[in-house]
A and B are shown apart, each in its own frame.
Chain A
Amino acid sequence: MRVLLKMNNLQEYLAGLLDDPCNEVVEQAVAYGMIPLGYTCSLIPEPVLSAGRLFPLRLRAPGVSGTETADIYLSSVICSYTRSLLELALDSKYDFLKGWVFAASCDHLRRLYDNLGYLNKPEFSFILDVPHKNNEAAMEWLELELEKLRTALSSHFNIDMSDEVISTSIKENNIMLAELRSIGDMRKEAMPLFTGTEFHRLMMALQAAPRKLLSDIPGRFRDAALKRGGAGKFRARFMIVGGELDDPAYTGVIESMGGRVVADRYCTGSFPGLEPISESGKPLAAIALYILEKNRCPRMMEEFDRRADYIINIAREYSADGIIIQTIKFCDTWGVESSLLVAALRDAGIPVLRLEREYRTGGEGQLRTRVQAFIESMKK
């Protein structure tokens, strides 16, 4: 690996990992005999997909320029994230994957699972049925589902997926999460040492390549940030909230207008993704509990107040001046949630800007205008 002592060099390296679904670290891992598994949702437990020689890759569609082929198979009211993934899948961009793991998180991604089965069947494909409620019966159900996933992975790839192996995976995962959490906490400072875009890029790179091969990256990020000593001036501190957001360029546009993103609650972000999983008891039970307790996904029923309070508390803890809610067009889950959320956040006295977007970052002029006007409306 190149010497990555300066933040600019490190960021350039991380950005390079995000240019293509299959980057140099993934290629290196495959050459070592590791097995890449794609997944599409935060409800899928990374420690299970990291057991033994397996490694998880959060599926993104970098470089997608249109979804002409996917549009033939998916209706126009399916979100552009789903359509972009299918487009690249049909374009053989994910052929390096040895398997796909889905969660029945929303109907759109379920259609992707169905269509992949017809059109470009992966050699391994599994859909995890996650309950919509958090109670005892849901716990039992989810534990059984995780058991099915373990059995399927173990028999298909002929690998040891015993409790001991998964427990080790949880421990390793927790170490990385703790490191990222402590870096994320640095955003509470009045003048954070890194930008939200830089942190977003770090988070995405660690989901786009095997973490085992990038274990030194968080430490390098922290050192580079400390060495640089500051990330420049800004006018307002923001928290970004919403569903899938895997392109740091979007955060970059927001920050280019004077914003500084200090907290995030989106599917690929740091909240609620960095809490540790319990290392005691049966590992699959601990994972099931973690998924049901920590996910804060709007697909979960009867938990709106808990989710809204979670966001409000983080915004206050990280001194966010305002919250930007971004949702991908036609995302039913976040579309409904964001309407309720706008009212709840305003009632809490937090300025809110709601943005609807396509998966691929575009319409920058309009985005810049809205963000600038939002900052101006806050008298910042």
Chain B
Amino acid sequence: MFVSGVDVGSLTSKAVIMKDDRIVKSVIIKSKARPWESADEVMDMALARAGLDRKDIKNCVGTGYGRDKISFIDEAVSEIACHGRGARWLVPSVRTVIDIGGQDCKAIRLDAKGDMMKFITNDKCASGTGRFLEVMAKVMNLDLDELGEMSARSKQPVTFASACTVWAQADVIQQLNDKVPIEDIAAGVNNAMASRMAILANSIGLENDVCMTGGVAKNNGVVNALEKHLGIRIKRIRREDPQIAGAIGAALFAMEKASGGVI
């Protein structure tokens, strides 16, 4: 029995097809202006790569900001619940999930069974989200992947006076003009991001094990800095790409539904 999860986020859209608790295929694309177009494209790509058709999917759950606009899903579940469920599948011992998406960030506490106990999300400010890193990387003329790697090469990370995206951007430009090594600026950006995220994570009360999901979980500079800020070890997700955790969670909900469970 095949099931699928589609996570239409503000920056990327993800689709996961699962069978018997195993991922058959997953795809990530850049989101389009209209969520239903993103959902159609990412789902069709995943199906094509798996050699399947839409009618082969027994149940499909949608999540992400565009979830209500997806025509082919059977049910919509919040991305908070999906990230919790997906993280649990990726790291079975996890009790706290920190997810940094394109335009939001959230901390989720799970109980011993893996059910969501409580959560907290950022406000509308872009600080502490993937958008913050994207803006800074663009100013520094770097790829997002490079930004993460540079922290390791930094000898003297700069400190930003504010984690506000607008002010930090102005600071980055100033540092570039002052010919500060780009590694030190990049490390400063990652630290600023981590410090903002640590405030959110601490406010929910951390419980081990802790893991990170979302695209920013692939940025080692941020993950390492966040570990320092929180004073705990963050379990790295190795089983799959942490960016598809929400779509995995959606697929797991779909599997539960297809098996007669209630979401």
Partner-B contacts on A (CB < 8 A): 329, 356, 363, 365-366, 368-370, 372-373, 376-377, 379
Q: Which residue of B lies closest to A351 (CB)?
A: B118
Which B residues, 186 to 218, have Cβ-Cβ distances below 8 Å to chain A? none
Name the contact of B119 in the complex, choosing from A329, A356, A365, A373 (C-beta under 8 A): A373
- A366: chain B residues at CB < 8 Å are 104, 121, 124
Report B61 CB to chain A, min CB distance, Å: 12
Complex Cα spacing A369 to B104, Å: 11
CA distance A373 to B76 in the complex (A): 11
B-side interface residues toward A, CB under 8 Å? 65, 68, 76-81, 104, 115-119, 121, 123-124, 263
Report if A369-B78 is in contact (Cβ < 8 Å); known contacts: A376-B116, A377-B116.
yes
Residues of chain B with a CB closer than 8 A to A365's CB: 65
* Contact partners of A329 in chain B: CB under 8 A: 123
User: Which B residue's beta carbon lies closest to that of A378?
Assistant: B116
Contact status B116-A369, CB under 8 Å: no
Partner of B81, one of A356, A363, A368, A373: A373
State the majority secondary structure of interface residues on B: mixed
Closest to B263 in A: A376
Given A365-B65, A369-B78, A372-B78: A377 touches B121 (CB 8 Å cut-off):
no
Given A366-B104, A369-B79, A369-B80: A377 in contact with B119 (beta carbons within 8 A): yes
User: A372 CA to B65 CA in the complex, in Å?
Assistant: 12
In the complex, the chain B residue whose C-beta lies closest to that of A362 is B124
Instruction: Kindly identify which residue among B65, B115, B123, B124 contacts A369, using a CB–CB cutoff of 8 Å.
Output: B65
- CB pair A376 B77 closer than 8 Å: yes
- Residue of chain B at shortest CB distance from A257: B78
**Residue on B nearest A256 in the bound complex, by CB:** B68
A363 to B68, CA, bound (A): 15
Q: Report the bound CA distance from A365 to B102 in whole Å.
A: 14
Report the minimum CB–CB distance from B251 to chain A (whole Å): 16
> Whole-angstrom distance from the CB of A252 to the nearest CB of chain B?
15
Residues of A within 8 A of B115 (CB): 377, 379
Known: A369-B79, A377-B116. 11 other contacts (CB 8 A): A366-B104, A372-B76, A372-B77, A372-B80, A372-B81, A373-B81, A373-B116, A376-B116, A377-B81, A377-B115, A377-B117
B185 → A minimal CB distance (Å):
28
B124 contact set on A, CB distance < 8 A: 363, 366
Taking a contact as CB atoms under 8 Å apart, the answer to whether B80 and A373 are in contact is yes
Q: Are B104 and A376 in contact (CB under 8 A)?
A: no
Kindly state the separation between the CA atoms of A379 and B117 in the bound complex, as whole angstroms. Answer: 10
A356 to B119, CA, bound (A): 15
Among A329, A356, A373, the most chain B Cβ lie within 10 Å of the Cβ of A373
Minimum CB–CB distance for A269 against chain B, Å: 24
- In the bound assembly, the distance between CA atoms of A363 and B121 in angstroms comes to 13
Ranked nearest first, the 8 interchain pairs of A and B with the lowest CB-CB distance are A373-B80, A373-B78, A372-B78, A376-B81, A377-B116, A365-B65, A369-B78, A363-B124
